Chain A
Amino acid sequence: MKSVVKQEVLALNGDEAVAYAVKQSDVDVVAAYPITPQTIIVEKFSEYVANGEVETEFVCTESEHSALTACLAASATGARAFTASASAGLALMHEMLFVTSGCRAPVVMAIANRALSAPLNIHGDHSDTMAQRDSGWIQMYVENAQEAYDSIIQAFRIAENLHVLLPVIVGLDGFTLSHTLENVQTLSDEAVKKFVGTRQFPKVMSHEGKTVPFRLDPENPMSMGPIALPNYYFEFKRQQEEAMRNALSVIQHVNEEFGKISGRSYGDGLLDPYMLDDAEIAVVCLGSTAGTVKAVVNELRADGVKAGVLRMRTFRPLPVDGIVDALRKVKAVAVMDRSMSFGGSGGPVFHEVRHALYDLPAHPYIVNYIYGLGGRDTSPTQIRQIFEDLRGIVQTKRVESSVKYVGLRE
């Protein structure tokens, strides 16, 4: 794809790329609390504010709980709001994640993915966001700093779409992406501002019997966040599910639109397949790991092995149809999970992918690899072994163990 607007290449790490995208997205309120490895986002943004480079109110709250709450309340008032966190910070927000999605506040949040205590660990894995799987937030995972920048800009468009109106998490791997410098192509301020546009509001009926924009406005009073008894609560949850379904096509559309101005798109926005068309064996993974897996696939392909990768860019809503289409012809699939679901049969991504394939009349063998917890490195050699295992499964038609641990001392 060819870019239609002029772009500037900046050397940015993932966190800085996020801060830069937020700076350009006409955000009204940023409320945040620093936590490793997200801290650079908050620091960088504070600098923009201190230097008068951005027309945004920055609120440095006393906790992540209040950071998200302030964003939610700002969003209810009509503002565009952003926050960022990681690990324990996201866990502290847990309660408010549900309230934010339930209040249909299109807040965007970057998460520099990090392990959860205990023991305390500041390094990368996906335990933090996976623990928020059912909180009603759209979840996207990026592969590099460039995609972090691009996805934050896209996230505002997705969240604020009137058929969606849901908060979005953009996850970038702690340290691997958050702290690693890359060349990032950046759009002009005007191009980004035009792309994100101004926030629109759906029309709702208030208690005064008037149809008015959905926000806190003294001219058109409305009550938000009431108590709903068993006669209505369920209906609101069904609405959220519908919004998630709507998000599937909106994410695809926004990815495409963004491609038109930047020359960059990520698969169909939901799934980013690599060498999958004729693949016999494939790895499914999230985030930066996809880069390593792709490199290994290139080597395997050179050796004549039909290997491929399916990177799941969007985890919520789960692109079930896309997963089925992408993997239906593959003979054996390895799903990589960078978090655990203790007592479950494998990690959360494994659960989802295996579940998605269940309705196929003949589905591939599917195995799970738990890897990289607490920032443990996963080498190309280990990835190669995973593909090697898949070839063995295809040859022997046997799965010895459906869940394995990568790089763990037994």
Chain B
Amino acid sequence: MTAQEKSWKEIAPAGVCWKPSTKFLTGDWKTYTPLRDLEKCTRCLLCVLFCPDGAIRWNAQKGDIEFDLNFCKGCGICANECPTKAIEMKLE
């Protein structure tokens, strides 16, 4: 138990969650990291849709996709599904 954990008097009843999981980073699980070839990428966004971890996002302002390695678990679905083979999984 850590000092951050609260006593029974401090927490809401019935286990109402008080932190979003976006505060829990899963990026250190991975052994492979996705590398994208910007030339080959057509921005079809299939990787954004298929990523189980929501770790690839469409940045509308930039008009491009972004990898959030804080959450990427290195599964390689993005690389496998990329129609132009623009993503390569690299051993960390």
Does chain A bind chain B? Answer: yes
Asked if A296 lies at the interface with its beta carbon under 8 angstroms from chain B, I say no
A8 close to B (CB within 8 Å): no
B14's partner among A208, A209, A236 (CB-CB below 8 A) is A236
- Any A CB within 8 A of the CB of B44: no
Cβ contact within 8 Å between A232 and B17: no
* B17 x A223 contact (CB < 8 A): yes
Decide if A214 touches B16 in the complex (CB within 8 Å).
yes
Closest CB-CB distance, A241 to chain B, in whole Å?
A: 9
B15 touches A236 (CB 8 A): yes
Chain B, Cβ-Cβ closest to A225: B15
List residues 1-25 of chain B with CB under 8 A from any CB of chain A: 1, 5-8, 11-20
- How many residues of B sit at the interface, in one of the four size bands? 10 to 19
**Contact A239 B17, beta carbon cutoff 8 Å:** no
In the complex, what residue of chain B is closest to A202 when comparing beta carbons? B13
Q: Mark B19-54, 1 if CB is under 8 A from A, else 0.
A: 110000000000000000000000000000000000
Instruction: Determine if A223 and B16 form an interchain contact, defined as CB atoms under 8 angstroms apart.
Output: yes
Contacts of B19 in A (CB 8 A): 207
* Contact across chains for B5 and A236 when beta carbons are under 8 A apart: no
Contacting A236 at CB < 8 Å: which of B13, B17, B20? Answer: B13
**Residue A204 lies at the interface, judged by CB distance under 8 Å to chain B:** yes
Q: Are B13 and A222 in contact (CB under 8 A)?
A: no
CA distance A102 to B17 in the complex (A): 14
Task: Establish whether residues B17 and A207, one from each chain, have CB atoms under 8 Å apart when the complex forms.
Answer: yes
User: Chain A at the B interface: mostly helix, strand, loop or mixed?
Assistant: loop
Contact present for A224 and B14 (CB under 8 Å): yes
Name, among A104, A165, A225, A235, the residue most crowded by chain B CB atoms within 10 Å (CB to CB): A235
Would you call B13 and A165 a contact (CB within 8 A)?
yes
User: Contact partner of A222 among B6, B11, B17, CB < 8 A?
Assistant: B17
- Assuming the contacts A222-B17, A226-B17, A231-B1, asked whether A205 and B12 have C-beta atoms less than 8 A apart, the reply is yes
Q: Are B16 and A224 neighbours in the complex by a CB distance under 8 Å?
A: yes
Residues in chain B near residue A232, CB distance under 8 A: 5, 11, 15
Bound together, the chains give a CA A91 to CA B2 distance in angstroms of: 39
Contact B8 A235 (CB under 8 A): yes
| Interface residue A228 (Cβ < 8 Å from any Cβ of B) | yes
Report the Cα distance A239→B14, complex, angstroms.
9
Q: Please determine whether A222 and B8 come into contact, CB atoms closer than 8 angstroms.
A: no
Most buried by B among A102, A204, A208: A204
Contacts of A228 in B (CB 8 A): 15
**What are the 8 A-B residue pairs with the smallest beta carbon separation, nearest first?**
A204-B12, A235-B8, A104-B14, A238-B8, A223-B17, A104-B13, A207-B20, A204-B16
Contact residues of B with A, CB < 8 Å? 1, 5-8, 11-20
Given A204-B13, A205-B18, A223-B16: 5 more A-B contacts, CB < 8 Å: A214-B13, A226-B17, A228-B15, A231-B1, A236-B8
